Amino acid sequence: MTETRAILRHFLATLAYRTQKAVRGAPDSFGAFQAGQLVRTPAELVRHMTTVLGYTRACFDGRLPHVEPLPDLAAEVARLHETIEDLGRHLTAGTELKRYTEEQLLQGPLSDAMTHAGQLAMLRRLAGFPVPPESFVDSAVDPANLGPQQPEADLAAVQWPEAPTADSPSGSQRGGHLSQVEVVQQIYQAFGRGDVPAILEHLAENVEWEYGVNSTNVPWLQPRRGRAQVPEFFQALTAVDIQKFQPKTLLEAGNVVVVLIDLEATVRNTGRRVVEEDEVHIWYFDAGGKVDRFRHQVDSHQHWTAYAGR
């Protein structure tokens, strides 16, 4: 293997290392995190990285990539590493390039892929799950290892002011307090694991749950007043089998966070489905950082017909 190709293989090993660092320890929900309108989710970004490297591989073997979406981020990352390993084999075997030079691959698609690895790390921070810092000059990057089993850095001596604490296991600290977006993210994470007490901790004592005018008798859309009544909402939800609950976009302005969510669910007693695209959740915060008003903006008629079996 030439010196130039040895450097390219080390570059691929660095890409494999940094990609794993960006996704390691992220919750399952991270793959679908939506930072904003028309912004790729982490799963989409990794798929794009595979496409970019697939075209790089085509410069060696002529196989144009056909990259279909996979079920989740873990599957996308596994396929990315397979593509990185394919490229590494071509470099080691001395496969002749059909077009471009090694230098052009470095300045083009390989640099693009590394940029996207950095974007993954940025999305982790935006999602409230920051990646710990590291001196990459000292990282254990091994050109022989292009797979997903990358070593973890020793963080014992690392200064990390944003490190999650016992009080904020998945959110960064800003002056000792979670941001409003991070609070909402933690509420959704607790909802995903069925941890109602953790949700209640983020609510004001006199929270208005499902504030505003109620026009339906659907149990899970009823207004409730005070933190003590909110568990009734989650009890009502046991009548529903939720197949998909995907927060996509979180928007913050002043003391309010608005979230767009895709929902697919089935009412157990009737077998009727509810499918919502861009269901809206509105979270208002008080001066102490607690949620004091919340409501769903949903297709209430669809919820009612599913509940009533109409």
pLDDT tens digits, one per residue of 44-86: 999 999 999 999 999 999 988 889 999 999 999 999 999 999 9
CATH (domain of 280): 3.10.450.50
Q: Work out the pLDDT band at 241, boundaries 50, 70, 90.
A: very high
Residue 121: inside a domain: yes
Q: Which of 45, 48, 138 is nearest to 56 (CA)?
A: 48
CATH (domain of 117): 1.20.120
Residue 165: inside a domain: no
Q: Where are the alpha helices (DSSP H) in the chain?
A: 3-23, 42-61, 73-93, 102-105, 111-126, 180-192, 196-200, 230-236, 300-308
Instruction: Give the residue, 36 or 133, on which the prediction is more confident.
Output: 133
Residue 159: inside a domain: no
Check pLDDT > 80 for residue 172. no
pLDDT on residue 30: 87
Q: Which of 226, 215, 224 is nearest to 297 (CA)?
A: 215
- C-alpha 240: how far from its chain's center? 25
| CA pair distance 179, 276, nearest whole angstrom | 27
pLDDT on residue 193: 83
Among candidate residues 138, 164, 189, the one where a domain is terminated: 138
Average pLDDT over residues 233-239: 93
Among candidate residues 138, 155, 189, the one where a domain is terminated: 138
Check pLDDT > 60 for residue 167. no
pLDDT on residue 42: 94
Give the pairing type, strands 240-253 and 291-297: unpaired
Among candidate residues 138, 163, 190, the one where a domain is terminated: 138
**Residue-range definition of the domain harbouring residue 262:** 180-308
Q: Work out the pLDDT band at 155, boundaries 50, 70, 90.
A: low
Check pLDDT > 50 for residue 174. no
**Count of all residues that appear for the chain in the document:** 310
The structure tokens listed for 86 are: 């394919």
| CA pair distance 121, 127, nearest whole angstrom | 10
Residue 219: inside a domain: yes
Is the domain of 127 the same as that of 241?
no
Is the domain of 12 the same as that of 134?
yes
| CA pair distance 284, 220, nearest whole angstrom | 19
CB-side neighbour CA atoms (13 Å) of 38 = 0
Check pLDDT > 80 for residue 154. no
Instruction: Give the residue, 237 or 310, on which the prediction is more confident.
Output: 237
Highest mean pLDDT among 32-36, 172-176, 279-283: 279-283
State pLDDT tens for residues 185-230.
889 888 888 889 999 999 999 999 998 866 678 999 999 999 999 9
Is the domain of 115 the same as that of 226?
no
Check pLDDT > 50 for residue 246. yes
Q: Is 264 in a helix, a strand, or coil?
A: strand
Is the domain of 131 the same as that of 205?
no
Q: How many domains, the chain?
A: 2
pTM of the model: 0.59
pLDDT on residue 294: 96
Is the domain of 110 the same as that of 44?
yes
Give the pairing type, strands 273-285 and 203-209: unpaired
